[in-house]
């Protein structure tokens, strides 16, 4: 049963009781040819720096990147964050929560390196607790990459999860996902008791959408088309209830949200 198509998020009125959860690649920043090719933006950092106090600190990044990578990308900001699809999580108190072990993927490192070495357009990204093979520079190899990786993890399906993202296949332990990361944040201050808002663009964000939908929050998909076209089948639709068309529109929406929250805090002009 397909889900209803999402409606535009541009008309959602901003509320000071939101808990805002933001994917990074494809949501806050355009996807680059390589993982290291993503460039930070001072304008975006300024918007996020305004939103943190406006939401009393209830803002977190939810990403497939490591938290250390997120800190470098958004410096000088140090935000609440979940990295590696929830295998790493840093709360408002600064404590780091880790799930899974890098050693669980040791048997895959050599064969994945051999796969990536077969073509210069393939990139193996070793994140420690997760491994990703990117084929954005070699889209014609998509079927080969997916088939080979599926074969490599066939005997470990109970312990490992395959994630088919945008031009990438990622392997991670089945200990967490973006939805469980959102749930963990929502169980602690300053997120607890607020309305969860999750914005993401990829199949990996569907767990986050489901989690906030179950909380009666706001799930916002970023993209001009339905999520998963060419990845999980044309009949599949995102479970997100709202939609923004592209990264630039996310920036405008976040800035408008910051403006509205600042106005609410200042009160009516005498």
Which domains are present in the chain?
17-98+176-259 (3.40.50.1000), 102-173 (3.30.70.1020)
The length of the chain is 270
The pLDDT tens digits along the chain (270 residues) read 557 778 888 889 999 999 999 999 999 999 888 888 888 889 999 999 999 999 999 999 999 999 999 999 999 999 999 999 999 999 999 999 998 888 888 999 999 999 999 999 999 999 998 999 999 999 999 999 999 999 999 878 778 889 898 899 999 988 789 999 999 999 999 999 999 999 999 988 999 999 999 999 999 999 876 444 434 332 357 999 999 999 999 999 999 999 999 998 876 655
Q: Which of 23, 25, 202, 207 is catalytic?
A: 23
Token representation of residue 98: 């880790």
pLDDT at 26: 92
The sheet carrying 59-62 orders its strands as 7-8, 242-244, 218-222, 195-200, 18-22, 59-62, 80-83, 88-90, 96-98
What global pTM score does this model have?
A: 0.89
pLDDT at 156: 80
Token representation of residue 123: 């990139």
Q: What is the 3-state secondary structure (H, E, C) of 230-260?
A: CCCCCCCCCCCCEEECCHHHHHHHHHHHHHH
Q: Is the dihedral of CA 245, 251, 254, 258 positive or negative?
A: negative
Rounded to the nearest angstrom, the gap between the alpha carbon of residue 180 and the centroid of all alpha carbons in its chain is 12
Look at residues 235, 234, 227 and name the one whose alpha carbon lies nearest to residue 210.
227
pLDDT at 228: 41
23 a catalytic residue? yes
Q: Cβ neighbours of residue 212 under 8 Å, at least 6 residues apart?
A: 21, 182, 196, 197, 198, 218, 219
Q: Decide: 27 and 200 in contact? Cβ < 8 Å.
A: yes
């Amino acid at each position: 049963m397909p889900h209803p198509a999402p409606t535009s998020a541009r008309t959602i009125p901003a509320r000071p009781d939101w808990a805002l959860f933001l994917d990074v690649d494809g949501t806050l920043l355009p996807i680059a040819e390589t993982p290291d090719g993503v460039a930070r933006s001072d304008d975006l950092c300024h918007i996020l720096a305004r939103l943190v106090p406006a939401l009393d600190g209830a803002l977190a990044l939810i990403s497939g990147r490591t938290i250390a990578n997120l800190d470098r990308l958004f410096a000088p900001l140090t935000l609440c964050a979940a990295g590696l699809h929830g295998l790493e999580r840093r709360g408002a108190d600064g404590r780091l929560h880790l799930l899974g072990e890098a050693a669980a993927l040791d048997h895959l490192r050599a064969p994945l390196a051999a796969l990536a070495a077969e073509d210069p357009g393939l990139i193996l990204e070793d994140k420690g607790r997760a491994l990703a093979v990117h084929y954005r520079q070699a889209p014609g190899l998509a079927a080969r990459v997916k088939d080979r990786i599926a074969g490599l993890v066939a005997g470990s399906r109970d312990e490992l999860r395959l994630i088919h993202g945008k031009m990438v296949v990622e392997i991670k332990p089945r200990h967490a996902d973006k939805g469980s990361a959102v749930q963990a944040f929502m169980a602690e201050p300053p997120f607890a008791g607020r309305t969860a808002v999750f914005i993401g663009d990829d199949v990996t964000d569907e767990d986050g959408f489901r989690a906030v939908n179950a909380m009666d929050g706001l799930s916002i998909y970023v993209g001009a088309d339905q999520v998963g076209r060419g990845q999980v089948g044309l009949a599949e639709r995102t479970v997100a209830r709202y939609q923004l068309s592209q990264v630039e529109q996310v920036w405008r929406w976040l800035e408008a949200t910051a403006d509205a929250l600042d106005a609410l805090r200042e009160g009516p002009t005498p």
